[in-house]
Amino acid sequence: MIDSKSVFEFRDQSDLERAPRVEQLHELGFTWADLEGEEYWLDAVVLMQSETYKELEEASSKLWDILDKTVRYVHFKHDLYDLIGIPPLLWEMIDQCPLSERGQISRYARFDYAVADDGTIKLLELNADTPTGYVEASIATPWICEQAGEGIYSPNIAMKDLLAQAWGKEHPDTAACVAYGSHREDSGTIEALVRHSGLDIQCVDCLDLSIDNGVVKDGEGRIIKRMFALYPKEWMAIDEGGEALAYAIETGKLEIFNSPHSIILQSKGLMAAVWGMYELGLLFDEEERKAIESYILPTYNKPVFSGNFVSKSVFGREGGSVRLFDEGGILELQDEDGFDSSVLFPSVYQKRAELAKINTKDGEFHLLTGMFMINGKPCGLLGRAGGLITGNASQFIALGVR
């Protein structure tokens, strides 16, 4: 269905028999198209206008450089660590570990954007530490777009090669997640990353790791020296064993990817720092200021808005902690499903942005647009359909380019 007022076109495919398509996706490695009897994958394709995609790609490259520059400004400044919510337990680790080369602080990240029906692009957040959705974007989306017929391009086909390049430089010997083997999404994600890397990498459960004087071992007693972990770094400040893990990293006995400094990129407080320096006329040149004005939402670490804003934890994930306030400053909606990490970490306050809407057989959904950044390059679209807050209950929908 084409809406002449929207940069998106929705193509419903729910009339096709679902079961064999789910089975084909399962064979490709996307094993959670259906979860607990519910449809996680929406059998449809959303097409973005090519001009909008080109702008989104360019915006992602510019914002990536701006945020990288901001991390380098923040590095070693403990007052700014505190301001953006970095747990003090991790400050020594961040100070001791050398910064990666420009653009490579995180080799595996994902921007989340609000792209409105009129094509307006606004950055909501950056998951620079532990983004999921890789299987949906790199495996499922190209297949679904190809199945949907001619006139559809998936830029996601570049993801596998870029991932192999990134991991070829980092060369982890281990990939870990919590509940490996039983949590389908996280287990499938690290298995796909390992497969696409082309390297000999062991997959393990974070809960089976042991640490003795900085030496990290898996459940079989194998010493781990270089690890990719689908484990949020801020939890090191809270979890039992987190301090020992931080010590292993800061002493160099364990190298972890994404790098320790990806937690600075991950913090939504960094966007408040960017906006604050933009308003003060600091750090950024004229071209960078234009990009910030165009694509970054006014974001503060205090509730300065009179209305029409969002509050969220600096380390909120999957919609957890998000609260929407209307134009009168009255709470309109809050996430009820995700963990509210604002009880542990400070919050930021951000101007609300408009998301495009799509009409499906099950009703109207808001569309969240993800853009993966792998090895410093924008390369993969991830579509998620849900309510005003895109949380755990949102569904995956393939997003391609017309």
Instruction: For residue 313, list its beta bridge partners.
Output: 347
Amino acid at 345: F
Tens of pLDDT, residues 278-319: 999 999 999 999 999 999 999 999 999 998 999 999 998 776
- Contact present, 309 and 335 (Cβ < 8 Å): no
CA-derived radius of gyration, the chain:
20
CA distance linking residue 80 with residue 86, whole number of Å:
9
What's the pLDDT band for 370 if we cut at 50, 70, 90?
very high
Taking residues 15-43, report their average pLDDT. Answer: 94
Has residue 236 been placed in a domain? no
Q: Quick check: 3 pLDDT over 70?
A: no
Has residue 304 been placed in a domain? no
At 319 the pLDDT is 65
At 113 the pLDDT is 98
User: In this structure, what token pair is assigned to residue 348?
Assistant: 């930021």
At 4 the pLDDT is 63
CA distance linking residue 25 with residue 10, whole number of Å:
21
Has residue 240 been placed in a domain? no
Q: Quick check: 400 pLDDT over 60?
A: yes
Tens of pLDDT, residues 143-153: 999 999 888 99
Q: Quick check: 28 pLDDT over 80?
A: yes
Has residue 338 been placed in a domain? no
Taking residues 121-138, report their average pLDDT. Answer: 97
CA distance linking residue 366 with residue 256, whole number of Å:
35
Has residue 352 been placed in a domain? no
- Percentage of the chain modeled with pLDDT above 90: 89
Tens of pLDDT, residues 333-359: 988 777 888 889 999 999 999 999 999
Tens of pLDDT, residues 226-266: 999 999 999 999 999 999 999 999 999 999 999 999 999 99
CA distance linking residue 175 with residue 230, whole number of Å:
8
Q: Domain span at residue 380?
A: 8-155+357-401
Per-chain mean pLDDT for the chain: 95
Has residue 140 been placed in a domain? yes
Listed range (202-206, 335-339, 368-372, 398-402) with the worst mean pLDDT = 335-339
Q: Which residues neighbour 20 within 8 Å (Cβ) at sequence distance 6 or greater?
A: none
Amino acid at 361: K
Dihedral pair phi/psi, residue 363, rounded to 5°:
120, -170
At 35 the pLDDT is 87
Instruction: For residue 69, list its beta bridge partners.
Output: none
For 163, the 3-state DSSP assignment is helix
At 200 the pLDDT is 97
Choose among 397, 332, 323: nearest CA to 45. 397
At 22 the pLDDT is 97
At 342 the pLDDT is 86
Q: Quick check: 161 pLDDT over 60?
A: yes
CA distance linking residue 86 with residue 75, whole number of Å:
11
CA distance linking residue 6 with residue 117, whole number of Å:
4
- Contact present, 218 and 224 (Cβ < 8 Å): yes
State which of 10-19, 133-142, 314-323 shows the largest mean pLDDT. Answer: 133-142
Has residue 382 been placed in a domain? yes
Predicted structure pTM score:
0.96
What's the pLDDT band for 388 if we cut at 50, 70, 90?
confident
Has residue 306 been placed in a domain? no
Q: Which residues neighbour 331 within 8 Å (Cβ) at sequence distance 6 or greater?
A: 323, 324, 325
Domains held by the chain: number: 1
